[in-house]
Structure 1
Amino acid sequence: MRRVQTVFARLYRSPALLLCLAAAGWSGNFVVGRLTHGTVPPVNLAFFRWLAATAVILPFGLPRLRRDLPVLRQCKGTVLLLAATGVAAYNTLIYAGLRSTTAISALLMQSIMPVLILVFVFLLFRERPQRLQLLGLALSLAGVWVVVTQGHPFDAGTLALGGGVGWILLAVVSYALYTTLLRRRPTVHPLSLLTSTFALGAVMLAPFAAAEAAAGHPLPLTAGSVAAVGYVALIPSLLCYFCYNRGAELLGAARAGQFLHLMPVFGAVLAFLFLDERIRGFHLAGAGLIGAGLVIAALRRGSGDTGAGPEGVPETGVEDARRLPPRSA
């Protein structure tokens, strides 16, 4: 028992390991979505994920939720938008996209989220991006174009938007909007915000999950489907949140956010091991352009900055990192 406690104590004090675990766990979400794409319907997978996650977090979040309920009611419009974009829509679109695109491509698409946030910050808050940020946005979008055209950017016939990549891009847009809306989050305890958005996301998905089941695609009660729901409910939804928040507390939100760019790396390894997916040349070319865009966009931070890292955690310091949830991949 002492050895176990010692291991957990060391883990709790190791930001790099915590953040790597978070990135690996979130990468696994994409692999599970792809692995079960032929047997587990996407809306039901998302619905039961958030239903199970809500059931687990509710005993811990309910006392805080009761105290913060008046504030949440005052900000109900923002809370509903956060639940819709960051919980209900994002993950459902990811699982829908993974039915017809690879996990590696889906993970690469996530890398353009920071630059898309710049667009929403301008549209919602009229904060103009700097020239370097615009150049970074252009390069990142060029990288996405290379991926969705499967390495033939000048041949429209290779465009993959008709398949799952289109759903993945919609998911990325949805989460970029969620991250931008976090600026208007209610000032409540993190558990209150997580519990409320998890529960509201499940409620929003319930009628769509019922319609999917009525159309002949219910969640099958098999060992594989139960394991998939258990994984996405416990690891990406809860454990990764804990690891990321603790890592951001120790390391700072700005540096912690950089670890999330490991997701395509971890995801590629997991996809190779469990899905037999191969990294192709256009994946590397697209990743190079996306990465260059991210580096250029981050060279100078001024008034056009969103104030948030790649996963919606503010870059202003430890206290803000404690108060906000990261992504719900």
Structure 2
Amino acid sequence: MTNSPQVSRIRRTGTAIWSNAYILLSFTALFWAGNSIVGRAARDLTPPAALSFWRWSLALLFLLPLAWPHLKRDWPTLKANWKIMLVLGTLGIGAFNTLLYTGLQSTTALNAMLLQAAQPALILIAAAILMKERTSARQIAGVIISLAGVLAIISRGNVVTLTNFNLDRGDAIIAFAVLLWSIYTVTLRYRPAVHPLSFLAATLVIGVMIIAPFYAAEIVRGHLIVASRNSAFAIAYVAIFPSFFAYLFFNRGVELIGAASTGQFLNILPVMGAGLAMLFLGEQLQAFHVVGIALIFAGIFVAGKAHGATKAR
């Protein structure tokens, strides 16, 4: 009984945090930013497919007790929509993070985070091409400005690099990963109407199955996880924080303030990631980073203003 006031205080604090979207989404952005930091820091300890495989396998293990009642109820719907679930699980779980960790083998976490800032612009492009959504001249202008920022980062401020196609392999892989994530985001509109935990668990199962052959290929080539405390920490971090907690917090944020506001708030992610990269990895902010991120955010602002005007009508 002596601990009851303290327990009550902890419960009240937990309830208050769970009801505050911006606290939850701040942690989400922090955890997702940390994903790139850990992926870069552990590049010599955990091969990319191995890190991705164990990240999602352990996250699925943590998630199943929560998701199982919903999965049993939603299984017929998930089974009937297996084709779109296969696409979503492959793009959102199987491909994106495996490619991200692969790119981080040779490029900086700072570059990776700033390239991911271009997602809103790429989502507009994917929606226009794949879903035939109408785009305004202002949205197109915003996309062009943001893509100019991406090119500034990829070329490291040297236009000659682009004309010679002498791009950093890691930057190119991460840019492709961001493109696939944008396609995944647009395709989410076709997801079956099931509980969010059922959907997440099902996509994790598919993603792990997609990653497994690549993980096996790494093992055959002799690319093994280095048995150490740091590699165990890296796997534990990416499984618990950017996977399990971040997805729970993200889904709760959407529930509290809606998808549009949640997406806009998470534009802080590359800023957090850049700060973490400089703080923990000693990476340096260069002039081309500043130019690139300024152009990316300018493009998001221009395109976002157009989107807001369209919604108002």
Question: By the TM > 0.5 criterion, same fold?
Answer: yes
Alignment TM class, shorter chain as reference = over 0.9
Quick one: which of 130, 137, 148 aligns to 1:131?
A: 137
Q: 2:154 aligns with which of 148, 159, 178?
A: 148
Q: Distance in 2 between matches of 1:14 and 1:60?
A: 21
| 1:146 CA drift (Å) | 0.6
Q: Highest CA radius of gyration, 1 or 2?
A: 2
Task: Specify every segment of 5 or more residues in structure 2 that has no aligned partner in the other structure, as ranges.
Answer: 1-6
**Residues in 2 aligned to 1:52 and 1:72: alpha-carbon distance in whole angstroms:** 22
**Bigger relative contact order, structure 1 or 2 (CA pairs below 8 A, ≥6 apart):** 2
- Identity of matched residues, %: 40
Q: Given the two structures, how large is their TM-score scaled by the length of structure 2?
A: 0.92
**1:148–1:165 distance in 2 versus 1, CA, 3 Å:** same
The partner residue of 2:120 within 104, 114, 121 is: 114
Q: How many pairs were matched up?
A: 305
1:1-329 alignment to 2 at 5 Å?
A: 1-156=7-162, 161-301=167-307
CA contact (8 A) 1:41 1:217 kept: yes
2:4 corresponds to which residue?
none
Residue 259 (structure 1) shift: 1.9
Deviation at 1:256, TM superposition (A): 2.1
Instruction: State the TM-score, normalized to the length of structure 1.
Output: 0.88
Larger mean CA deviation between 294-303 and 65-74 belongs to 294-303
- C-alpha contact 1:129 1:303 (8 A) present in aligned 2: no
Q: Is the 8 A contact 2:277 2:283 kept in 1?
A: yes
Shift of 1:64: 1.1
* Change beyond 3 A, Cα 1:102–1:158: farther
Please state how far the C-alpha of 1:108 moved relative to its aligned partner. 0.8
* 1:199-255 deviation per Cα after TM superposition (whole angstroms, max 9, x unaligned): 110011111101101100122332111111111111011111122222333333322
Offset, 1:257: 1.7
Letter in 2 for 1:254: A
SS in 1 for 2:172: helix
Distance 1:220 1:39 in 2: 5
Q: Distance in 2 between matches of 1:89 and 1:59?
A: 25
Larger helix proportion, structure 1 or 2?
2
Q: Distance in 2 between matches of 1:145 and 1:102?
A: 16
| More displaced stretch, 74-83 vs 60-69 | 60-69
**Deviation (angstroms), 1:274:** 1.4
CA distance in 2, matches of 1:45, 1:166: 20
